[in-house]
Amino acid sequence: GENVEQHPSTLSVQEGDSAVIKCTYSDSASNYFPWYKQELGKRPQLIIDIRSNVGEKKDQRIAVTLNKTAKHFSLHITETQPEDSAVYFCAAILDNYGQNFVFGPGTRLSVLP
């Protein structure tokens, strides 16, 4: 089955700097890669996603890149702000009636003012 690794497990950056979180997956059939943000004590919320037919997607300060050959994808946050502090989860999903719903272990991002 699918296995998703995520690095780093914790990340501290200064406000205004960039943050990068990387995930690798094992099942080449996975074709949908969402990123969820979970603030302390709250529910996970989708922040950006990418499908396997796209190499990069950007939404304001957030971008995701996908390398299908290497089976890894990354989340990039630019101009970080204190409200970006949260746990970020990546996931690898087979968009074919739910055969894979595997989330990475999470990255705890702290943005220091």
Partner 1 sequence: DSGVTQTPKHLITATGQRVTLRCSPRSGDLSVYWYQQSLDQGLQFLIQYYNGEERAKGNILERFSAQQFPDLHSELNLSSLELGDSALYFCASSADGAGGDEQYFGPGTRLTVT
Nearer to partner 1, 15 or 51 (CB): 51
Residue 89 is a binding residue for partner 1 (CB under 8 A):
yes
Q: Where are the beta strands (DSSP E) in 1-113?
A: 4-7, 10-14, 19-25, 32-38, 45-51, 56-59, 62-67, 72-77, 86-93, 101-103, 107-112
Nearer to partner 1, 14 or 97 (CB): 97
Please select the residue that binds partner 1; options are 12, 28, 46, 54, rule is CB under 8 A: 46
Given a contact cutoff of 8 angstroms between Cβ atoms, the answer to whether 96 and 70 are in contact is: no
Please select the residue that binds partner 1; options are 24, 31, 80, 85, rule is CB under 8 A: 31
Residue 106 is classified by DSSP as -
Please select the residue that binds partner 1; options are 16, 51, 56, 79, rule is CB under 8 A: 51
Quote the tokens at residue 72. Answer: 């890894």
Residue 11 is a binding residue for partner 1 (CB under 8 A):
no
Round to whole Å and give the CA distance between 73 and 55. Answer: 9
Give me the residues that bind partner 1 (CB under 8 A), please: 31-32, 34, 36, 42-46, 49, 51, 89, 91, 93-106
